[in-house]
Chain A
Amino acid sequence: MSKLNRILRLALGAYTVLLLAALSFICVNLYKAGNAVALPPFSRENISLELIRLVPLFVGYIVVLALAVLSGKNEGSAETSLGISPQNRLLLLKRGSGTLPEKAEREERLRRVLKWLLAAALALFSVPCLAYLLSGDNFSSWELEEVMSALVLRLSPWLTAAFVSAAAVAYICDASIKREIAVLKESNVEKVGAAAPDVPENSGRLRLSQAIILVIAVLFIALGVLNGGMNDVLIKAINICTECIGLG
């Protein structure tokens, strides 16, 4: 990628963020302005006025976009590889080797322990979330804004903790995998790569599962037609769902 192309792509990236931020700002501002005077905040006129102000920004965006596209076209396209994950690389190395060296075994044990710890942590974090979700008292108020805000406030810390834990374990495991790959390579294992899982195909069981799901699906659809479920779908769909599209 040439320097010019790189600069143009960076500029376009920044410009994209700027444009989207400007649009968000306009939307929020219109809402606040309308709310302050207890009038409907949005109308075709005031939205059009605000968008007209953004026209130079849009024009500039199109110019930068055109330049970036043209500059990229001149370079042609190269096949991009996004890289093989360390886990897949290790899986293949292990297939090529017989008994694992002791250092490799140690890394395997470390990852097993980490995965169990992560599973325990995720189970721990899921308890308050499930307790909250399964309690009907938290969903008894018809003040939906309060309920949804409370839902987000209660679940977010646990979800964030779960994500951070998973990310931390993933990074420690990746470091461990890289160490194991180095050990296996030192022991002259040649095959390197990524793999499909070692799950033997059981076409008989697969066919049975597919048949069962098919029967259940057809039965459910038939039941739904008979009990009026299909009619419910139709009635809902032929009326504008103002909630669904954010109109309140």
Chain B
Amino acid sequence: MKPGRRRLIQLYSALLYNAHLKGFISGDIFKGAGKAICVPGFNCYSCPGAVGSCPLGALQNALAASNSRTPTFVIGIILLYGLIFGRTVCGYFCPAGLVQELLHKIPTPKLKKSRITEILCAFKYVLLLVLVLAVPLWYGFQYLPVPAFCKYFCPVGTFEGAVGLLSNPANEGLFSMLGLLFTRKFVILLLITGLCIFAYRAFCRFFCPLGAIYGLFARVNVVGVKLNRSTCIDCGRCVSVCQMDIRHVGDHECIHCGQCIDSCPVNAISFKAGNITLRQNECEQTAESRGKEKKTAALAWSLALLVLAVVLVLSNI
């Protein structure tokens, strides 16, 4: 899909995850049954508009309660999303990714990828291990829920949740709860915002534990960018145009955005769902395949808009 179409999908996802528009006016969060389901991307469930749960927040809370209940539900959902989409979620279905890409458009000098950034990408696994898994589990055994990543680090929660709720006059009472924790998290939010302006998707690359989890499914995910090794001539243009720290197309750092597809001189890269090609190099497309693609896209968009309309109605009545 062209960047234009990918941007539309990102906007659609952001709107779908935050369809409780009434919440932005009333200052209250959605309390419907939809919140039992985790959305695939990073979206704080304390955002006034959120209609689903954040997978990372749900995972931490589930691990924190593992003394009383095995956290199979959240793990099962993450396994399912990882299997189907892997890090395609990052490229298409994550509002945090969308915001980072928009921030990166601010025309400042940019930090290019290098060996240092490649090594820094490992830090998100440290955050995953320590703040998402170890701390919530240990305190879970003591019946004290500590969603450590959410509580001490998550900039998405600070932005969507805190700023989203505090900007509404109905939540005046929440101001008295702001203290050291908020100060620290707000400074982290500003730091990461700055990083994202100077480095492409800095949060995704260096800090996002959800991206770290989905990256583990790089070899098995069904939907995403695939490389035809028999056609590939190893010219390296795909790696050179990619702004993520990939070693090769489709590895654990690849967000399957498809920006490499048109750069391949032998059309070895395509965007697939299983064996079905959803997008290939424009030069490879015939008039017939373009027509077929248009029909499929029209059908998919109609279905998507129907789903969005249903969710908007159900979450705002």
Contact = CB atoms under 8 A, between A and B. Distances in A.
A91 interface: yes
B181 A238 contact: no
Interface stretch (A52-60, A101-109, A178-186, A224-232): A224-232
Interface residues of A, number: 96
Nearest to B137: A139
B144 to A, nearest CB: 6
B200 to A, nearest CB: 9
Contacts of A163: 119-120
> Main SS of chain A's interface residues?
helix
Contacts of A31: 179-180, 183
6 contacts: A31-B180, A65-B106, A210-B222, A237-B45, A244-B57, A245-B44
A201 B229 contact: yes
Given A17-B194, A214-B80, A227-B69, 17 more contacts: A40-B178, A139-B139, A139-B142, A144-B146, A171-B115, A194-B238, A194-B239, A206-B220, A214-B83, A223-B70, A232-B62, A233-B61, A236-B45, A236-B58, A238-B32, A246-B162, A247-B181
Given A20-B194, A88-B239, A246-B181, A148 B148 contact: yes
A195 B248 contact: yes
Interface in B201-241: 217, 219-220, 222, 227, 229, 232-241
A216 to B, nearest CB: 6
A16 interface: yes
Given A16-B194, A206-B220, A244-B57, A87 B247 contact: yes
Contacts of A24: 186-187, 190-191
A233 B77 CA distance: 12
Question: Interface residues of B toward A: which range?
Answer: 35 or more
Interface of B: 29-33, 35-36, 38, 44-46, 50, 52-53, 57-58, 61-62, 65, 69-77, 79-80, 82-83, 106-109, 112-113, 115-116, 118-120, 122-123, 126, 129-130, 134-135, 138-139, 141-142, 144, 146-148, 150-152, 154, 157-158, 161-162, 165, 169, 172, 174-187, 190-191, 193-194, 197-198, 217, 219-220, 222, 227, 229, 232-243, 247-249
A82 B194 CA distance: 21
A27 B183 contact: yes
Contacts of A80: 241
A13 B241 CA distance: 23
Contacts of A213: 79, 82-83, 217, 220
> Main SS of chain B's interface residues?
helix
A95 interface: yes
A217 interface: yes
A85 B247 contact: yes
A171 B157 CA distance: 37
Contact of B112 (A82, A84, A196): A82
Interface string A186-207: 0000010111110001000010
B119 A166 contact: yes
A246 B181 CA distance: 5
